[in-house]
Structure 1
Amino acid sequence: MSDESAENLIAVGVHVIVKKHNFSKVYKVSENGTLMLGKNQKVEMHEVVGKPFWSTFEMIPKRGPSKNTYSLRLVERTESLNDLSGLKGQLSGQDNRLIVDYGTSQGLSKDEILRLQEAGKSGKEIIGSLIENSTSFAAKTEYSQEKYIRKKERKYMRFLTVCRPTIVSLHEMYFRQYHEKIGGLRMDALAQILCYSDVQADGLHLLYDSGCQGLPAAAMLNRIGENTSGHLINLHPGNVPQTAIVQAMNFPQELRDRHVAVNIYSFLRLHYQGESSMLDNISTSSKKVTDHIVERSVEKLNGETKSDEVSRTDTDISELETDAGENSTLFLRDAEKDADTLKRKLHEFEEAEEAVPVKKPKWFLETQRALDLLNSSKVRGLTVIAKEHPLNIVNALLPFLGASRPFVIFHTYREPLQETFMELKQKRNAINMRLFTNFLRSYQVLPDRTHPDILMSDTGGYILTGYLVQE
């Protein structure tokens, strides 16, 4: 099998997007993994391994004590709305004013519908039975009939499509379901950030992201591409970077190696204070941890001494009168010997630790690597996507930007960018600055029903762009 054909097959360890109607979820493929859809639907996903991307599977209910558990079966095509439209028949009403919902229009009970599902009836057959036993369906307008069928389709048509993750599909999923997790960053704003920051396949790019699940980093890495010379330094405020979307993109290892994620405070501290200061802090922290362990050990040893003496007071009084003095003296001597042995081993450990160099943790090596990249060349683009006020962050990171290179700052609100705009204007080291926002409105285009979407975000945030120059 060629490499190109192997890349088009779903393998263990890759991330996929599972779509069911309008619901999407990221899933990491495993040999015997399961996927939870909603609150109570458990799907066994081992059938997707080895199948091509964009394959469609039908959810088959499993018989047995475990309810709401489904296995998958590969299908060639699904039953679309056009197939279900034949269930409507030719009868339809002129309007719905005379239809009164008493809750008795459906002739099938809930138990009967469940028996149809347990019997293995397809979604089309179940919906057809619901329409046949509905006394109000024929009186509804054609639009209401179509709306009714769509509602039942989402409930009874059990088909999954396994898709390859892309920036667009991941953004659509997060923005529809968890838009606050990506900071309300719309696709049009993300596209303009990539354009204004001049992200290309070569050069060094600097990004600060304070909580967008790795969406800006994934988009920039996707534009840098495989087998290129570009690097991305991703600064973040916490101890662990948010890389959920970066991992979901299934980037090759050589591209992930060119993504350097470091803490911004460690980055600036190592740059201005040097390596010796950081190593001293690391050794001091390790010594504090060792001292804390020894103190806890001694306290535990003393606690065992006291607890043993207390427990011995509950024994027979006559035995304590004869043996208490001698036994307690021997036990305390043993405890003192153990404490002296622990202190002696600690002293030997400290002497050996001085001879062996301090082992550098992984985060320190990543921070050092980022500074090595910056020492070789200035960055060709600075991107700041901050939930906090961006002024101090921009002032700290602008010295790493090359002359005549662009910077892009994104924020949900306008006022922090206005203050940043005025500060950079007063310093006179930035030109061609522009503060703007977009209003992207999508439209529903259907026969006789074309109108703007009602449910949409009113703003996509604000963007401040400019170019850095030398004074």
Structure 2
Amino acid sequence: MPASRLCSMSSRNVRVGDYVVIQRQCYTKLHKVTQRSMASLGKDQLELDTIIGKPFWTTYKMEGKGKRLFKLVECDGAESLAEQLIKDVTSGTDNRNIFDDNASQSLSKDEIVGLRDSGLSGQEIVGQLIENSKTFHDKTEYAQKKYLLKKEKKYFEYVTIRKPTLRLVSQIMFRQDPAKIMWLRMDTISQITTAAGIHTEGTYIVYESGCQGLSVASMLNYLGEDGNLIHIHPGNIPQKQAVLAMNFDPQHLSKLISVNVYSLLRMLFQENKCEDDEPAKDNLAKKPRWEQETEKAARLLRNRKVDGLVIVAREYPASIVMALLPFLAVSRPVVVYSSVREPLLDLYLTLKSRGDVVGLRLTETWLRSHQVLPDRSHPDILMSGSGGYMLTGTLVQRRDTSII
């Protein structure tokens, strides 16, 4: 990625129309900024007017304006609720005499909800819970910290506005509904871009359907001024949610060409095509956007072969690969992703029999995250079963057996 683009992306402030990532402790949410924008974090409603024009990575404190309605006030940084409240609290030596009988808290549920609705800060609410607890002062220091950290997660008053990155966008989409992105995790995305050999000045084809534009955004992210990406999709309207969320500038978005697969193939293989003629500007202006994009992609593919072919599809991939393989240059990679294994097994055998795709490998991506804390590091209990399957290979010149 050019250094000038990196510098401009890092220094730009939040503008109307941008996507931002709202982070509250470990929770992150993707949101598009509009005039008088409102964002919901659980049952809390946030007014986002104050973030417009401010730099990314600014931290704000949530100040109550009414029932679960908050405005954001810029501050220097977040303060730990647990560290503030644990300072002057006495603790016990063990928890043997503490019983969980649901009677240790003298405040009722309605009274606790009333404290929140009255506009009290999180520190004041938790302070009230401690004062009205019959067992808190008898707990060990470790148990008290654990209790306060649990309450801090619920009553945390600070949010940070972050710039969307490929990692953040993919993690948010995966957490919300992994089926919508075909269980495509961030580690799988990195393997796809690595296997495809993305470089800044390359020209690539990506066929994607049912992945919210996540693989398209990952490939477009690494292209430079002379790069091109042809996004082929089966429907009338391409899925671009992840592409929009990345806040690419218009110049960078001009490297992306989105076309319907049937329209592109029909234009490329029609009998009376003009390969080198550039369409007149007057005629081009009268054509719909999808037709202009299709002609642009067709001219690009007639003039050169692409440097990589990536298929991320819910459909059976064999026919898609066979239709697009002729546009791939020799000694260039082909990468096919699927959330299930069986279609890739059939495609493996089909490509093996052709003889012009070598180095075929079918792999399953697997990742398990770990909690790393003093004296209590262990694998996370909840994890995804699989990150999908990937078939990779390299196109070579077919050997002419007639001369042997």
**Superposition TM-score tier, normalisation by shorter sequence:** 0.7 to 0.9
* Cα 1:453/1:88, change in 2 over 3 Å: farther
Distance 2:111 2:77 in 1: 28
RMSD of aligned alpha carbons: 2.4
Distance 2:187 2:90 in 1: 44
Aligned pairs for 1:27-426 (under 5 A) are 27-38=31-42, 40-63=43-66, 67-80=67-80, 83-84=83-84, 86=86, 89-92=89-92, 94-95=94-95, 99-118=98-117, 120-225=119-224, 228-273=225-270, 359-426=286-353
Residue-by-residue CA offset, 1:16-68 (whole Å, 9 max, x unaligned):
11112232222222221211222x432211111121111111222214xxx32
Aligned pairs for 1:418-457 (under 5 A) are 418-457=345-384
1:14 equivalent in structure 2: 18
* Cα 1:131/1:371, change in 2 over 3 Å: same
How far the C-alpha of 1:142 sits from its partner, in A, is 4.4
* Cα 1:88/1:363, change in 2 over 3 Å: farther
* Cα 1:386/1:118, change in 2 over 3 Å: closer
2:277 equivalent in structure 1: none
Report SS of the residue matched to 1:238. coil
Gaps of 5+ in 1: 277-355
Gaps of 5+ in 2: 1-6, 274-282, 399-404
* Aligned residues of 1:194 and 1:220 also touching (Cα < 8 A): yes
Bigger mean CA offset, 160-169 vs 53-62: 53-62
* Aligned residues of 2:182 and 2:339 also touching (Cα < 8 A): yes
Residue identity opposite 1:44 in structure 2: E
Report SS of the residue matched to 1:223. coil
Q: Does 1:23 find its partner at 2:27? A: yes
Distance 1:52 1:200 in 2: 30
Distance 1:408 1:257 in 2: 24
* Cα 1:230/1:102, change in 2 over 3 Å: same
How far the C-alpha of 1:251 sits from its partner, in A, is 0.7
Residue identity opposite 1:79 in structure 2: E
Residue identity opposite 1:68 in structure 2: R
Count of residue pairs the alignment pairs up: 383
Residue identity opposite 1:271 in structure 2: L
| TM-score, structure 2 normalization | 0.88
Distance 1:215 1:61 in 2: 36
Distance 1:6 1:378 in 2: 34
Distance 2:382 2:354 in 1: 42
How far the C-alpha of 1:211 sits from its partner, in A, is 1.5
How far the C-alpha of 1:442 sits from its partner, in A, is 1.7
* Aligned residues of 1:32 and 1:44 also touching (Cα < 8 A): yes
- Structure with higher Rg: it is 1
| TM-score, structure 1 normalization | 0.76
* Aligned residues of 2:58 and 2:160 also touching (Cα < 8 A): yes
Distance 1:183 1:155 in 2: 31
Distance 2:195 2:130 in 1: 54
2:4 equivalent in structure 1: none
Bigger mean CA offset, 69-78 vs 110-119: 110-119
Bigger share in helix: 1
Distance 1:243 1:182 in 2: 12
How far the C-alpha of 1:189 sits from its partner, in A, is 1.3
Distance 2:9 2:203 in 1: 33
* Cα 1:141/1:417, change in 2 over 3 Å: farther
* Aligned residues of 2:126 and 2:151 also touching (Cα < 8 A): yes
